[in-house]
Structure 1
Amino acid sequence: MKSVALALVAGSALAGCQTAALAPAGPELLLTGVGRYAVFADLSTRTRSGDHARIRSLQVVEPGFEVDGRAFWGGWSWWAFDCAAGTADRLDFASVSEGGIEGPAVPDTDPPYPAAPGGDAAELLAVTCSDARAGPILTTVEAAVTAGQQALTE
């Protein structure tokens, strides 16, 4: 998987950063897993067509994460899944700096891969393909960052 730090630097180096544009009703963020990062699925972006599904996820980094002196909350990624085959394809990464400013998306050109049990991709696939959900739904990025950073420090 591509280096998150590299993507954060690339996103912050490009001009034209903008505030994150989410679904009109706002995000519906569900914590899907905590490991190196806290990962949230944005249920408001979930779409499905047959065995294929897409969703946007928010990856939250530990408190105090900085790249080149700039504080970051994490980043957004679009994912595509083949629910029948159990494969995942991370399509991009857009950094989110402290305050919620979203950097431009950096494409992820790696091919789809099997979603390994217990990994971020498998946890997102479960929520996206089968509507599996457990836990509270958070409605702001700020709330997800707070909850994610707390989970990372536990």
Structure 2
Amino acid sequence: MWVSLVSSLVLAAQTPSPSPHAFVLTGSGRFAQMADAASITREGDTARMRVLQVADKDFHVGDVAYWGGWSWWAFDCSARTADRLDFASVREGGAEGPAMADNQPAYEAAPGGDAAELLALACAPERPAAQAMTVAGAVTLGRQALTD
């Protein structure tokens, strides 16, 4: 019995836990948008998702380098509207600054824009395969997209 219990505990310790992130590149322009598909929640026609906005590698404010920033978004899948709820900067290395509320109202997700690309992913019936599983990996992928 003890051998079985110890074997189970060893196996559990060796089994990697699932990543808390599943990043998908949805677009790039001034910034790369890395949607975290693992954060998607749905309630009726409303979807919520966290998005990492990746900045160019040379993005500094003063002498502080930033990877970009996180935002929570809410989407009305039927009305095709998007609402960016907040923004929290992400310093190089991954430290997150405090979240600041974005009090602008929801708006129509115009075809071809960042919000429409994010809405399409958040409202899709199935989640796409992840392209990166860590914040650092998402930053690398996003910066590659910015240079293409």
TM-score normalised to structure 1 length: 0.81
1:126 alignment partner AA = A
Structure 1 gap ranges (5+): 1-23
For the residue of structure 2 that corresponds to 1:101, the secondary structure is coil
Hey, what's the Cα distance between the residues in 2 that align with 1:137 and 1:152?
16
Letter in 2 for 1:116: A
Q: In structure 2, which of residues 104, 124, 127 is the aligned counterpart of residue 130 of structure 1?
A: 124
What's the offset of the Cα at 1:25?
A: 3.9
Q: 2:77 aligns with which of 64, 83, 93?
A: 83
Aligned to 2:110: 116
Query: Out of 17, 23, 31, which is 1:29 matched to?
Result: 23
> Contact conserved, 2:132 with 2:141, CA < 8 A, in 1?
no
Identity of aligned residues (%): 60
Bigger Rg, which one:
2
Match of 1:64?
A: 58
Amino acid aligned to 1:71: A
How far apart, CA to CA, are the structure 2 residues paired with 1:33 and 1:148?
A: 9
| Long gaps (5+) in structure 2 | 1-17
Matched with 1:8 is: none
Q: Residue type of the partner of 1:35?
A: G
Deviation at residue 134 of structure 1 after TM alignment: 5.7
Give the equivalent residue in structure 2 for 1:141.
135
Q: Residues 65-106 of structure 1, C-alpha deviation per residue, up to 9 Å, x if partnerless?
A: 001110000000000000000000000000000000000101
Q: Which runs of 4+ in 1 moved over 4 A?
A: 131-136
| 1:83 counterpart letter in structure 2 | C
Taking the aligned partners of 1:142 and 1:44, their CA distance within structure 2 comes to 16
- TM score, norm. by length of structure 2: 0.84
Preserved contact between residue 38 and residue 151 of structure 1 (Cα < 8 Å): yes
TM-superposed CA distance for 1:131, in Å, is 4.3
**How many Å separate the matches in 1 of 2:57 and 2:126?**
28
Q: CA RMSD in A?
A: 1.5
Kept in 2, the 8 Å contact 1:126–1:132? The answer is no
> How many residues are aligned here?
131
Deviation at 1:135, TM superposition (A): 6.4
Q: Once the 2 structures are TM-superposed, how far is the Cα of residue 44 of structure 1 from its aligned partner?
A: 0.9
Secondary structure of 1:46 counterpart? strand
Contact 1:31–1:135 under 8 Å retained in 2: no
Deviates more, 1:104-113 or 1:135-144: 135-144
